[in-house]
Structure 1
Amino acid sequence: MKLFGKLITTTLSAGLLIGMSTSIYAHTRLDASAMVEGTRVINYLVAHSCGENTMLGTSVVFPDGVDSTVLVDGQPHGGTLKDFLPSYGNNAQLIFNRSAFDLMDEKTDSLGNVVGFWAGGGVGVPHTLNVATQFRLTAPTIEPTSCAKSVKLYISIANVCKITGVDQFSTEGVVDLWTHNNLGTPYDRVSTTDDGPAPWTVTRDLVKNPLPESCGAGVAVEVKPSAAQINRDMPIKVDGTQVWPK
């Protein structure tokens, strides 16, 4: 199956191709990057191509919370994400829409929880435009007994412009990686700062879910995926066959 680069006629929705220059969105980011706990929105992953090349598809990974790195006010947390987000999991649901890409699917773990998604195929996204991939996002409830005032989850993204192996990722125009720069995976972003992933911040509803008095001003929690998860979930597979990277 030719997943990417398949030249067919398709109608591109103006609602999903926004802007006349990739300079509008220098980074690949969520349209709504912050949500109050317990709320749900139709969100968009706003992305652009790799330099002058057409964008053929995208691959997205959410931290699964299983072996993720959890930081509290910048310091390692000895427990798990469940200490702060007990209902975390299956928060993202991809919305089927062929306005930009012909093929798409969710990525799931062994329990069927959605840990990411991919989209690709069709004519691709011209390098002069941005694309918004639509999905539903639900903000989990923050643990009432915790001191978390917010939980920031880092979403890893690869915008694919050439179908290659990981050994060619350093070639300009092949792939645009919005990932961590220090996990030790082939998908790590080459950068002096760890500013690649798209942040998604879940904020506490201080009216419905006030902080315990002992918490003071509360703490900020951050969640990063493990290297093992990125290596497992970043590749794109169709019917069990990996089509990217080669």
Structure 2
Amino acid sequence: MYKQSILAGLVAGVMIAGAAQNTFAHTRLNIPTATEGERAINHVMITHSCDETTHTIGTSVVFPNGTDSTILVDGAQHNGSITDFMTNYGNNASMFFDRSAFDYMDAKTDANGNVVGFWAGGGPGMPNSLDVALPFRLTAASIEPSSCATSVKIYISIVDICEVTNVDGFGEGTVELWTHAGLGTPYDRDLHFAVDAGTDPGPATFTINRNLATNPLPENCGNGVAVEVKPSAAQINRDMPIQLNGQQVWPQP
């Protein structure tokens, strides 16, 4: 009964879809950058619903786990580990219980209990005319002193939900996909919405900057390198769905 009420709560907030997607306002973090080691209360900022007639009735958030993630160094793929650049990456986020917009929420964890994302849904939801700030605590992991990284950009995949459907029902009026294009998952932005060639505008980002005063670059690093961390397709397929007591409540199986 409890699991059924969650799904019913998600569906109940839906209104009939109609108008085109607003492509100018994205779901992002309100604090998109931090110096390594900083810990602060952050928010996922949902700035519009799926169209002008819908409510946002839920959201699903995934952080790359660093285990099977893609790591880029100055745009080139790195074949090593995230530990080559960060000393304490993983389990850096913790969600707050806040029923301002959604009645139900929970963290997503991996097999070791590390938080790899979170979800919220049900309740009144968010009207298209308003915004939602979903609070969580985020610690900026520390940069490995022996590395040449000056910054590490983390790509955070988010789906805002306006109607509970299966993945074939994704599109205008049902979801907002702030996800990668071409990753190879049913949640890829370019499978359901137009994406300009050569761009990947979807995911939110959180950039961790090196503290050059307390953690200077090694002498052989020159100006240093910029590192990026993206989730694997396997992780998105595993962690993007919303599970409740072992049952998948979104997307519909």
The TM-score, its normalising length taken from structure 1, stands at 0.91
Runs of 4+ in 1 over 3 A off after TM superposition: 22-25
How far the C-alpha of 1:220 sits from its partner, in A, is: 0.1
Number of residue pairs aligned between Structure 1 and Structure 2: 231
Is 2:53 aligned against 1:31? Answer: no
**1:64-112 Cα distance to aligned partner (Å, 9 max, x none):** 0011000000001120111101210110100111111100000000000
Q: 1:83 to 1:35 in 2, by over 3 A?
A: same
Partner residue, 1:126: 127
**1:199-240 Cα distance to aligned partner (Å, 9 max, x none):** 110000001101001101110000100000000000001111
Is 2:179 aligned against 1:173? Answer: no
Partner residue, 1:215: 221
How far the C-alpha of 1:129 sits from its partner, in A, is: 1.0
SS at match of 1:82: helix
Is 2:68 aligned against 1:67? Answer: yes
Report matched runs for 1:191-230 at 5 Å. Answer: 191-192=195-196, 193-230=199-236
SS at match of 1:128: coil
Partner residue, 1:19: none
Q: Structure 2 regions of 5+ residues with no counterpart?
A: 11-20
Rounded Cα–Cα distance in structure 2 between residues aligned with 1:2 and 1:126: 21
SS at match of 2:168: helix
**1:170-204 Cα distance to aligned partner (Å, 9 max, x none):** 3x100000000110100000223211000110000
Partner residue, 1:183: 183
Partner residue, 1:14: none
On the 8 A contact 1:4/1:122 being kept in 2, the answer is no
Partner residue, 1:41: 40
| Greater share of helix | 2
Is 2:158 aligned against 1:150? Answer: no
CA RMSD of aligned residues (A): 1.6
On the 8 A contact 1:60/1:234 being kept in 2, the answer is yes
SS at match of 1:2: helix
Rounded Cα–Cα distance in structure 1 between residues aligned with 2:6 and 2:201: 30
Partner residue, 1:50: 50
Q: Which amino acid aligns with 1:42?
A: I
On the 8 A contact 1:38/1:138 being kept in 2, the answer is yes
SS at match of 1:232: helix
The TM-score, its normalising length taken from structure 2, stands at 0.88
Rounded Cα–Cα distance in structure 2 between residues aligned with 1:32 and 1:105: 21
Q: Which amino acid aligns with 1:2?
A: S
Rounded Cα–Cα distance in structure 2 between residues aligned with 1:231 and 1:82: 24
Q: Structure 1 regions of 5+ residues with no counterpart?
A: 8-21
SS at match of 2:88: coil
On the 8 A contact 1:144/1:211 being kept in 2, the answer is yes
Identity of aligned residues (%): 61
**1:148-191 Cα distance to aligned partner (Å, 9 max, x none):** 00000100000000000001113x10000000011010000022
